[in-house]
Structure formats: C-alpha cells, structure tokens
C-alpha cells in the first residue's frame, strides 16, 4: 500500500506544479493524477481514501517524490520530516562535531540535491516520452475504432439496400426487423 500511495503522491505533486490552471480545482488535479498513475503503472489508483488522510502530514510529505516546476530549470522542493524524539535525544548526547565534519555533511547534502535534480530531470523526460507514446497509441486506437464503425455502417447500409423479395414468411419478417433497426440506427430516410 505504501509504495502505491507514495507514487501517487509524487504524481499528484508533479501534476500540481506542471499543469497549474486558474480555473482548475483540486478535484481536477486529483483526476489528472489518477489518469497519469494508471498510464504509468497500468492499474488504477484505488487508495485515494488513504492518500486523502496522509497527504498533508509532514512525516508523509518527506517521502513523497521530489516536486519540480516546468520553468527554465527544474527546482526540487524538499520538505523535511520533523525530527523524532529518539533522534533528538541521541543528537543531544553526541558531541556536536567539528566544523569540518559539518562542512562535509553540507557538501554531501548539496551533492545529493544535485543528483536528485538530475534524476528528476531525466525521469521527467522519460515520463514525457512515455506519455507521448501512450497518447499516440490512444489516437491510433481511436482511428481503428472509427474505421471499424465506418465499415460496420457500410455493411449495414448494404444489407438495408439489398432486395429480399425472394424471402417468405418468418424470414422476411426477421429481415424487416433488422432493416428497421438499421434505419433507426443511421437515421436513413429511404
């Protein structure tokens, strides 16, 4: 459950930052995020009730995927999880450490942020390519369906226009029922 909700939370954050529209409400963003989640994972997101409870909690926000904007450069926003009781006690007992140690930690943090930024940029590019491929697949499928519907209509009209004078009794009655359905379905005037 947790990985699914974490993934959805990251997708929702990305949707919020990438598609900020003045008329769109939170419901619109949630729906878009659900669509993106289903495109990425192949299954619909079924844990919206869990996400609704967890989304605004600080401990949960730290583990969500990095957020970025679509400006000239990607910006990673990091939300720190509140320090727990045990960690605060352990830090109080420890020696504060030297300035060199703190400087090294700061460099490590900066390097980690840079790596996350590069990873999110690459992941964003891959996600956009993937979504473009999925959009094209949907367009192709829609064209296939339209072609099938057109062919079916042609067959139905051909059946409707064909002469069935040679049929008798029940056969003629069945054909007339089918022809009536075709006439209604396509609004034929003849």
* pLDDT computed for residue 25 by the predictor: 73
Answer with the residue of higher pLDDT: 27 or 41. 41
Interatomic CA distance for residues 166 and 163, integer angstroms: 8
- Would you say the C-alpha torsion 24, 136, 142, 150 has a positive or negative sign? positive
* pLDDT computed for residue 145 by the predictor: 93
Cα pseudo-dihedral 78, 82, 87, 89, rounded to 10: 140
* pLDDT computed for residue 51 by the predictor: 74
Compute the C-alpha angle 45/51/57, nearest 5°.
155
Tokens of 3: 């990985």
List 77's β-bridge partners, or say none: 67
Cα pseudo-dihedral 16, 21, 27, 29, rounded to 10: -30
| Ranges of H-type helices in the chain | 2-18, 26-41, 48-54, 58-63, 85-93, 99-161, 169-186
**Share of residues in the chain with pLDDT > 70 (%):** 73
Tens digits of per-residue pLDDT, 123-164? 888 888 988 998 899 999 999 999 999 999 999 999 999 998
Interatomic CA distance for residues 60 and 53, integer angstroms: 10
pLDDT at 71 over 80: no
* pLDDT computed for residue 64 by the predictor: 47
Selection from 110, 165, 123, 137 nearest residue 42 by Cα: 137
* pLDDT computed for residue 18 by the predictor: 72
Interatomic CA distance for residues 134 and 138, integer angstroms: 6
Interatomic CA distance for residues 29 and 32, integer angstroms: 5
Q: What is the DSSP letter of 167?
A: -
Tens digits of per-residue pLDDT, 80-124? 666 677 777 777 676 555 444 445 566 677 767 776 777 777 788
* pLDDT computed for residue 82 by the predictor: 64
Answer with the residue of higher pLDDT: 23 or 64. 23
* pLDDT computed for residue 149 by the predictor: 93
Q: How confident is the model at residue 59 (pLDDT cuts 50, 70, 90)?
A: low
Q: What is the mean pLDDT of residues 18-28?
A: 68
**Share of residues in the chain with pLDDT > 90 (%):** 25
Using DSSP's 3-state secondary structure scheme, residue 14 falls into helix
pLDDT at 66 over 80: no
- Confidence (pTM): 0.35
């Amino acid at each position: 459950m947790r990985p699914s909700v974490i993934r959805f939370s990251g997708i929702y954050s990305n949707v919020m930052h990438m598609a900020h529209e003045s008329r769109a409400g939170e419901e619109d963003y949630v729906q878009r995020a659900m669509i993106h989640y289903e495109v990425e994972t192949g299954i619909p997101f079924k844990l919206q009730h869990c996400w609704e409870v967890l989304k605004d909690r600080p401990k949960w926000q730290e583990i969500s995927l990095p957020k970025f904007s679509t400006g000239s450069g990607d910006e990673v926003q990091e939300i720190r999880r509140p320090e727990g009781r045990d960690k605060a006690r352990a830090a109080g007992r420890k020696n504060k450490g030297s300035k060199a140690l703190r400087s090294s930690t700061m460099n490590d943090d900066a390097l980690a942020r840079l790596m996350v930024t590069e990873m999110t940029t690459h992941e964003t590019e891959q996600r956009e390519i993937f979504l473009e491929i999925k959009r094209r697949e949907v367009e192709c499928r829609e064209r296939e369906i339209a072609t099938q519907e057109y062919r079916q209509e042609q067959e139905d009209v051909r059946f409707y226009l064909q002469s069935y004078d040679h049929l008798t009794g029940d056969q003629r009655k069945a054909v007339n029922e089918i022809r009536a359905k075709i006439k209604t379905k396509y609004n034929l005037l003849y």
